Amino acid sequence: MREIRRLLPHEDLLYVSDSAHVPYGDKTEAHIRERSLLLARFLQAQGAKALVVACNTATAAAITQLRQELPELPVVGMEPALKPAVAATRSGVVGVLATVGTLASARFAALLARYAGDVEVVTQPCPGLVEQIERGDLDGPHTRELVQRYTQPLLARGADTLILGCTHYPFVRRLIEEIAGPEVRLIHTGPAVARQVERVLRERDLLAPPLRLGRELFWTSGVPAALQPSISALWGQPLVLQPLPAAAAAPRLSPA
């Protein structure tokens, strides 16, 4: 969202933090698809003209269904930036930090088959890291211990390029850089996704005219008062966090 705001200052941005249901990485695909479709329909009802699935795990599990069931809404997804990482590596080893759900998905397997070539791709699931970032703990002792635990096996295998394969992880980029060292390059997909959003809107003649700066509206499925300080800190300025309507906030499937 921050990259989209930088590139498209005149667009209104509608954001849902599904905090009551994170992390998605350990949920079933059926649960993730249901949440994604429910939230997409909510955003469409608020006037959204395009949808960004700002989660690698949700993209892998739900983007096909979203495009099938909401054909009138252009949908832009996320996936680990394997292609640029393979092009960037000097050692021939690329590390991927991601959720269990992303790494186990057929979409990620297809990315490997398409782009890895002769490059060794070493994957590392990162349970617990999303929760720390959701709390706003970006450099505390436990967050630091998790980053150390998850990056060291990749570095030990010779990775000189690390993919941040979850949209939460750029928030701890500085910590990862500190632990990994200056010779290791970090790659994430935020800027590329923002450029794709601009292309999609331009192709469909949906770009907002440059008459005013866009506004941002934020909702959460969690408790707004509890989450507002951490989400404001992640966004970089104070914001008003609204509760999702009950129909969009409540689950209908077991998250197990």
pLDDT at 256 over 50: no
Q: How far apart are CA 30 and CA 156, in angstroms?
A: 36
Our answer to whether residue 166 is catalytic in this structure is yes
pLDDT at 253 over 60: no
Our answer to whether residue 55 is catalytic in this structure is yes
Cis amide prior to 229 (ω within 30 degrees): no
Q: Which residues contact 226 (CB under 8 A, 6 or more apart)?
A: none
Average pLDDT, the chain: 92
What's the predicted TM-score (pTM) here? 0.85
List pLDDT tens digits, range 41-58: 999 999 999 999 999 889
Cβ contact 70:39 at 8 Å:
no
The catalytic residue among 43, 55, 155, 241 is 55
Q: Classify residue 11 by burial, with Cβ atoms within 10 Å: 0-12, 13-18, 19+.
A: buried
Is domain 82-188 annotated with CATH 3.40.50.880?
Answer: no
Q: How far apart are CA 73 and CA 240, in angstroms?
A: 26
List pLDDT tens digits, range 150-168: 999 999 999 999 999 998 9
- CATH 3.40.50.1860 residue ranges of the chain are 2-78+191-249, 82-188
Q: What is the reported pLDDT for 248?
A: 76
What is 2-78+191-249's CATH number, 3.40.50.460, 3.40.50.1860, 3.50.50.60, 2.40.33.20?
Answer: 3.40.50.1860
pLDDT at 214 over 80: yes
pLDDT at 255 over 70: no
In degrees and rounded to multiples of 5, residue 220 shows phi and psi of: -140, 150
The catalytic residue among 16, 166, 201, 231 is 166
List pLDDT tens digits, range 70-111: 999 999 999 889 999 999 999 999 999 998 888 988 889 999
Tell me the average pLDDT across 219-240.
92
Q: What is the reported pLDDT for 27?
A: 87
Q: Which residues contact 76 (CB under 8 A, 6 or more apart)?
A: 50, 51, 52, 53, 193, 196, 197, 200
> What share of the chain in percent tops pLDDT 90?
81
